[in-house]
Amino acid sequence: MIDGVDVPGLVGVTSPIATALAMVYLIFTGRLYVRSAHDAVVRVLENQLKAVTEDRTIWRDSSLAKDKVIADLTRTNARFIASAEFSDHVMSALQESAGGTTHEAV
């Protein structure tokens, strides 16, 4: 005993009260979650992650399709340009052989 105070008795009474008050304080300040609230937050975050992953997959697939279309158009345009250059060459040669002036491609 210290100065007439029964310390073990005082600790025995105040410990559960202090623990309960600490828990209430932690719950109300948002530092301590009950399991059901934590599970609900985790479920929401998992759903958001799934949606973001699906969205990323859709964007990646459409980007790959776009790249394929661009590559096909590039090959096709290269063929058209080669064909146009050949046609220009043939037409210029025909015009020269007919006695006309040469044609300059633009």
d(CA 84, CA 80) in angstroms, rounded, equals 6
Structural domain including 62 reads 35-106
**Do both 1 and 42 map to the same domain?**
no
**Do both 75 and 103 map to the same domain?**
yes
**Do both 49 and 80 map to the same domain?**
yes
**Do both 26 and 61 map to the same domain?**
no
C-alpha dihedral over 91, 93, 97, 100, to 10 degrees? 60
**Do both 58 and 106 map to the same domain?**
yes
**Do both 99 and 49 map to the same domain?**
yes
Of the candidates 102, 104, 83, the residue with the CA atom closest to the CA atom of residue 94: 102
Q: Residue 62: its pLDDT value, please?
A: 95
**Do both 46 and 73 map to the same domain?**
yes
Q: Residue 2: its pLDDT value, please?
A: 47
Q: Residue 8: its pLDDT value, please?
A: 59
**Do both 77 and 60 map to the same domain?**
yes
Instruction: Count how many domains the chain has.
Output: 2
**Do both 42 and 81 map to the same domain?**
yes
**Do both 65 and 105 map to the same domain?**
yes
**Do both 24 and 46 map to the same domain?**
no
- Spatial contact of 66 and 74, defined as CB atoms under 8 Å apart: no
Mean pLDDT by 10 residues, the chain (106 residues): 52 76 85 85 96 96 95 92 90 82 60
